[in-house]
Amino acid sequence: MSDKFVIMFVCTGNTCRSPMAEAALRMLLEKERPGITEVISSGIAGAIGFPATKFAAEAARIWDCDLSDHESQPLTEELIDQSDLILALAPTHHVATVQMKPEATPRTFLFKNFPDARPDGEAVEDPIGQPLDMYNRTFLEIGEYLGKFLPEIVKRIDEKTNAG
C-alpha cells in the first residue's frame, strides 16, 4: 500500500457517480488533510480511458470540482490492494469488489452505509442518460453523505498516518 491514505470509489462505468464522488472528496480532503491522501475511482464494468460524462463534469464544476482530466478505469485487484478504504456506490459494486478480492472485505463499504459494514442497502442512483438536473441531484446527494462521513474518514486517515 501507498504511504498516502488511498480512498477508492467504485461504480459501474466510472464515468458518472464515482468520478463525481472522487472529485468532491478530493476537494474536501485538500482542505482537511492536504498531501497525505489519494482519491481514486473505478468501475466494475469500466473501460479504460473514457472521460467523465458531460453532465457529470458540469454538475461537479458547479461546486468547483474539475473532472476534465478524468479517465475511466476498470476495477482491478491492484486498485483494491492499494486502497485503504473502498466505498461502493451500490450493493452490486460492493459484491463485485469483495468477490474479486475477499480480503478487502473489512475495508469495503456500501457508500450510504459507511462506517457501518452492512453490504446491503440503498445505492446512489445512477444518473447515466438522465438530464443535467439528475446529475446535480446525484452530486448533491454524494456531497451530503461525504459531509456526514468526513469526520470518520479523517479519523481513519489520521490513524494510518500517525501509526506509520
What is the CATH classification number for the domain harbouring 65?
Answer: 3.40.50.2300
Domain assignment present for 139:
yes
Cα(127)–Cα(140) distance, integer angstroms: 12
Report the pLDDT value the prediction gives residue 164, as an integer from 0 to 100: 59
Cα(109)–Cα(98) distance, integer angstroms: 10
Domain assignment present for 84:
yes
Cα(150)–Cα(164) distance, integer angstroms: 21
Domain assignment present for 83:
yes
Domain assignment present for 162:
no
Domain assignment present for 163:
no
Count the domains in the chain: 1
Q: For residue 19, which amino acid is it?
A: P
The residues carrying an active-site annotation are 11, 17, 126
Report the pLDDT value the prediction gives residue 2, as an integer from 0 to 100: 59
Other Cβ atoms less than 10 A from the Cβ of 160: the count is 17
Other Cβ atoms less than 10 A from the Cβ of 133: the count is 11
Nearest alpha-carbon partner for 41 in 25, 60, 30:
25
Per-residue pLDDT of the chain (164 residues; tens, 9 = 90+): 458 999 999 999 999 999 999 999 999 999 999 999 999 999 999 999 999 999 999 999 988 999 999 999 999 999 999 999 999 999 999 999 999 999 999 999 999 999 999 999 999 999 999 999 999 999 999 999 999 999 999 999 999 988 65
Question: Is the whole-model pTM more than 0.85?
Answer: yes
Instruction: Give me the domain span that covers residue 122.
Output: 5-156
